[in-house]
Amino acid sequence: MKRSIELLHAGTSTTLTWYDGTSDMMVEQAAKALLRLPEAARLLLRDEQGDVVPFAGCLPHAMYTVLDYSQPAATLSAVNEASEATSSTLSKPPVRPDEAATPAMLSLFRALPGNKRQRTAPISAIIACFIDIFTVPISADDVINFVPNHGPFALHSLYSALVPAEYDTPDATSFYKIASSAVVLDRQRAMRYYAIPPHRTFVLPPTGKGPILRAYLAARRVDALDADARKRLLGLSAALFATAEELLARYHAFLQNFTPISKAAYSKAQSQAGDAQVDQPQATELS
């Protein structure tokens, strides 16, 4: 009997198939060969529930994110902690990519001879850090706030706008798959509404799994963030060769004062507009 799993690695999904009775070691070796990773690579998997598990011949069919612990997961601490982090990184045990991104600077690439680079952090770590910085949780009874999953203000569109293409930005479908495996993303297939002050109102029709039940970050100044959020922003901006202030300014410039509103507020705006046409964005991405 055949078994198979989906492996998320470097922004792409790859199917690994084997027969019952195949040893755990052979499954792991097959994964390394399929992903073109060195035999010495130290790999673990993160399942859809967020648990980290080893390769095994009895793994159930599901989507797994490949975690490569061959390189140190964290390198330098943000700004004033740089020297301390450098001396302690090698003595720390491997950590999950999203934990590594929390106060420390993401180590995305290392330099190789001939102006070449080798990736040292999985895309899932970058995406998890990005989501933790620019979105915040909402309460269970909040039916107004949301993060779009398609259209001009979609989370993937924001990511593409802030993270340069040289960092291997995945397509929309792959982005949301990776995001869902890296952090908990609750979704709801429901109609949502938002405004771009002072006059424009929009309706976001449900597409794919629906909008993300989180809210975009409201803070406009770095010093308005809490300590953990500030460290994450400093880490990501340093990895992208920008300042935290620049990255935050680009974030707000992209959103254009995007403001979720209630259905009642949207209906009132329509009524006040009379017969004037109310703009609606086209669904540009499915996820």
Does residue 207 sit within a domain? Answer: yes
Residues 148 and 263 in one domain: yes
Distance CA 210, CA 149 (A): 7
Does residue 83 sit within a domain? Answer: no
Per the structure, the complete domain to which residue 18 belongs is given by 2-68
Does residue 58 sit within a domain? Answer: yes
- 71, with CB counted inside 10 A (0-12, 13-18, 19+), is middle
| Residues 74 and 89 sit within 8 Å (Cβ to Cβ) | yes
Residues 246 and 176 in one domain: yes
Does residue 281 sit within a domain? Answer: no
Closest by alpha carbon to 96, among 150, 144, 159, 53?
53
| Helix 155-162, helix 123-134: angle, nearest 10 | 110
Residue 248 — φ and ψ, nearest 5°? -70, -40
The full length of the chain comes to 287
Residues 141 and 242 in one domain: yes
Does residue 23 sit within a domain? Answer: yes
Residues 142 and 205 in one domain: yes
Q: Is the peptide bond before 198 cis (omega within 30 degrees of 0)?
A: yes
Of 17, 40, 68, which closes a domain?
68
Distance CA 143, CA 266 (A): 14
Distance CA 42, CA 243 (A): 33
Type of residue numbered 76: L
Residue 70 CB contacts under 8 Å (≥ 6 apart), including other chains: 38, 40, 41, 42
pLDDT of residue 139: 93
Give the CATH number for residue 7.
3.10.20.90
Of 42, 68, 94, which closes a domain?
68
Distance CA 101, CA 125 (A): 7
Does residue 254 sit within a domain? Answer: yes
The structural domain count of the chain equals 2
pLDDT of residue 99: 40
> 125: part of which helix (H) or strand (E)?
helix 123-134
Residues 161 and 257 in one domain: yes
Residues 146 and 244 in one domain: yes
pLDDT of residue 121: 64
Residues 15 and 126 in one domain: no
pLDDT of residue 80: 29
**pLDDT, tens digit (0-9, with 9 covering 90-100), for 172-213:** 999 999 998 888 889 999 999 999 988 889 999 999 999 999
pLDDT of residue 228: 85
Record the tokens describing residue 118, joined without a space: 């080798």
Mean pLDDT per segment of 10 residues, for the chain of length 287 residues? 86 84 90 89 83 88 83 35 32 41 48 56 82 93 95 95 81 91 89 90 93 95 89 83 90 94 92 61 45
Residues 12 and 139 in one domain: no
Record the tokens describing residue 198, joined without a space: 């002072």
Does residue 157 sit within a domain? Answer: yes
Q: For residue 243, give Cα distances in angstroms to 24, 102, 151, 220.
A: 45, 17, 28, 14
Does residue 86 sit within a domain? Answer: no
User: 13 in helix, strand or coil?
Assistant: strand
pLDDT of residue 116: 55
Distance CA 251, CA 162 (A): 7
